[in-house]
Amino acid sequence: MSEDGFDISELSKFSTDMLAIANDKMPKESKKFIKKQGALLSKKNKAEYSSCGVGSGIKEFAKYTLTGFKAGKVYKYDGALSVRAYNGTTVINKAGKKYSLGGMLNNGFVPGYHFMEKALSSFNNEYVLNCETFVYDVVVKNI
């Protein structure tokens, strides 16, 4: 029991059980939900990337990077479903030099831009609400 008099351990156990049911009995819906959340995070990454101005000085790079944000395939990691939100864009300029988000200039790290971490922190609350909605939908379908 917590200090304020409410014991929510049973509620959190219930939601954990519902997620287990969703993963075991409804794998298609679970994968679809996780993929959709990855796409939403990818959109947040793109918006944060645009707002912080990464790569704005490199004309060839800035042109193609906005189209490269995507969600990867759904996979199991430590028994839970996961998905990656990333940008796989690589641009080769006229001189044959490769640029990518991992190493923009001369294949080195560019410090100061942490747009993916910012997007993840802003997406976290939305993700929790979406998970609660998904758990509710699982309960309604299984009743």
| C-alpha torsion 127→120→67→94, nearest 10 | -170
The ranges assigned to domains in the chain are 12-142
Residue 42: the pLDDT is 92
pLDDT digits (tens, 9 = 90+) for 33-78: 999 999 999 999 888 888 877 666 666 566 677 778 889 999 988 8
pLDDT at 32 over 50: yes
pLDDT at residue 129 tops 80: yes
pTM strictly above 0.85: no
Q: Given this model, what pLDDT does residue 57 score?
A: 66
Determine the pLDDT at residue 21.
74
Rounded mean pLDDT, 19-23:
74
What is the residue-wise DSSP string for 50-119? HHHTTTTT-HHHHHHHTT-EEE---EEETTEEE--EEE--EEE-TTS-EEESSSTBTTB--TT--HHHHH
Q: What is the pLDDT of residues 89-121, one digit of tens each?
A: 766 556 666 666 555 544 444 566 788 888 999
Q: What is the mean pLDDT of residues 3-11?
A: 69
